[in-house]
């Protein structure tokens, strides 16, 4: 007779932990659906706002002027690279944002259960869950973000270099550590941004039910309005850190006046450009972030309905 194998106490404890961490109802097929919904939301929103992202990066890395003209930036991109110049780096952007958005939303659904347990999670819990989810997603895809920023800052006339060659040159000339340059200010920025963004959006969506007929779920317009406000609030709060991260990412070993680190970048930006320097490129960033956040949440909510997650 075959002997029966009984689970050990360690295996039982591991099973109980998994049951607590993975939210009820999120089985294997549901996990994949959450990832697909988040990936689609990120890809569509980022493509729609690609021109503003290119302009924001270009203005953010300007260190020799205290003012940054949006119209001059748009003209500069068009004259050097034509219409397609506004979408330079977008393929890499989508490659970056799709897994980032997928992991962020999926991790957020899990972290809400971890933080709140079986009870209702409040605004502070959503803030913690959102910040943790954003940090996890950002750390995983950060090298792609750095290569994308370098590619967008490549302003030589004509076509940009092939992605594989561009990435290989960074690795050969600067080493693997270069792919994580600026990660610290990025994490310091993404944790409060993702926390504020996700927590504000879900709190506003829940509050909006008070103004709707009973048993009525918020519609697309509510999702757009909540996403607009949450995205703008989060992006404004952390923009100085985002600017410093962009400048650290954009510099190479051959860059003149290289920053020695995050503190040096903050100090020199304030010394040469004042407080206004920390918000250089803020307006095009808002013109990108606000519609991007709105489209992201709108597509995510729609995908959850189509994939039977709601």
Domain-embedded: residue 34 = yes
The answer to whether the beta carbons of residues 124 and 112 sit under 8 Å apart is: no
30 CB burial (10 A radius; 0-12, 13-18, 19+) = middle
**Rounded distance, CA 292 to CA 288, Å?**
6
pLDDT in tens, 28-62: 556 788 888 889 998 998 888 888 888 877 777 77
What three-state secondary structure class fits 23?
coil
Per-residue pLDDT tens over the stretch 198-221 = 999 999 999 998 888 888 888 899
Phi, psi of 144 (to 5 degrees): -65, -40
Residue 223 included in any domain = yes
Instruction: Answer whether residue 16 is part of any domain.
Output: no
Is residue 117 scored above 80 in pLDDT? Answer: no
Query: Of the ranges 71-80, 113-122, 229-238, 254-263, which is most confident?
Result: 229-238
pLDDT surpasses 50 at 25? no
How confident is residue 1, by pLDDT bands cut at 50, 70 and 90?
very low
| pLDDT classification of 267: cutoffs 50, 70, 90 | very high
In this prediction, residue 128 has a pLDDT band, given cuts at 50, 70 and 90, of very high
Distance, CA of 261 to CA of 8 (rounded, Å): 49
User: Exposure of 302 by Cβ count < 10 A (0-12 exposed, 13-18 middle, 19+ buried)?
Assistant: middle
> Looking at residue 107, which CATH number applies to its domain?
1.50.40.10
Q: Is residue 205 included in any domain, yes or no?
A: yes
User: Is position 9 within any domain?
Assistant: no
Q: Please compute the mean of the pLDDT values over residues 262-277 and round it to a whole number.
A: 91
| pLDDT score for 46 | 85
- In the predicted structure, residue 27 carries a pLDDT above the cut 70: no
Please write the tens of the pLDDT for every residue from 105-114: 999 988 888 8
Q: Read off the DSSP letter of residue 274.
A: T
Average pLDDT, integer, range 238-249: 87
Say if CB 88 and CB 152 are below 8 A apart.
Answer: yes
Model pLDDT, residue 155 = 63
Segment 168-177, tens digit of pLDDT: 988 988 888 8
Q: What is the mean pLDDT of residues 15-19?
A: 41
Lowest mean pLDDT among 36-40, 92-96, 233-237: 92-96
Our count of domains for the chain comes to 1
254 versus 289: the higher-pLDDT residue is 289
Whole-prediction pTM: 0.68
**Domain boundaries, position 73:** 26-306
Whole-number pLDDT of residue 79: 84
Greatest mean pLDDT range, 37-41, 63-67, 96-100, 214-218: 37-41
Q: In sequence order, what E strands does 110-245 have?
A: none
Which pair of tokens denotes residue 55?
């302009």
d(CA 89, CA 147): 9
pLDDT score recorded for residue 249: 80
CB 177, CB 211: distance < 8 Å: no
Q: Is the pLDDT of residue 232 over 90?
A: yes
Chain-wide mean pLDDT for the chain?
A: 81
175 domain-assigned? yes
Domain-located, residue 18: no
Assigned domain for 101 exists: yes
What was the pLDDT predicted at 165? 84
């Amino acid at each position: 007779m075959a002997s029966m194998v009984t689970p050990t106490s360690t295996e039982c404890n591991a099973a109980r932990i998994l049951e607590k961490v993975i939210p009820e109802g999120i089985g294997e097929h549901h996990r994949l659906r959450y990832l697909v919904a988040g990936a689609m939301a990120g890809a569509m929103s980022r493509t729609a706002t690609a021109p503003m992202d290119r302009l924001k990066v270009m203005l953010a890395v300007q260190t020799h002027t205290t003012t940054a003209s949006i119209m001059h930036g748009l003209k500069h991109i068009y004259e050097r690279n034509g219409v397609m110049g506004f979408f330079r780096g977008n393929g890499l952007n989508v490659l970056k944002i799709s897994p980032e958005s997928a992991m962020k939303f999926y991790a957020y659904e899990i972290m809400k259960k971890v933080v709140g347990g079986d009870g209702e999670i409040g605004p502070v819990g959503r803030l913690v869950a959102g910040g943790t989810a954003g940090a996890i997603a950002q750390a995983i895809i950060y090298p792609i973000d750095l290569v994308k920023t370098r590619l967008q800052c490549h302003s030589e006339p004509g076509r940009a270099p092939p992605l594989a060659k561009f990435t290989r040159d960074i690795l050969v000339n600067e080493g693997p550590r270069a792919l994580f340059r600026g990660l610290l200010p990025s994490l310091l920025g993404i944790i409060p941004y993702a926390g504020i963004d996700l927590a504000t959006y879900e709190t506003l969506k829940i509050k909006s039910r008070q103004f709707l007929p009973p048993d009525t779920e918020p519609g697309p317009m509510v999702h757009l309005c909540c996403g607009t406000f949450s995205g703008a609030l989060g992006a404004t709060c952390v923009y100085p850190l985002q600017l410093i991260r962009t400048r650290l990412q954009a510099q190479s070993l051959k860059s003149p006046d290289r920053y020695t680190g995050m503190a040096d970048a903050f100090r020199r930006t304030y010394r040469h450009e004042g407080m206004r320097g920390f918000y250089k490129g803020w307006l095009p960033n808002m013109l990108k972030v606000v519609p991007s956040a709105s489209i992201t949440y709108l597509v995510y909510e729609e995908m959850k309905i189509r994939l039977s997650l709601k």
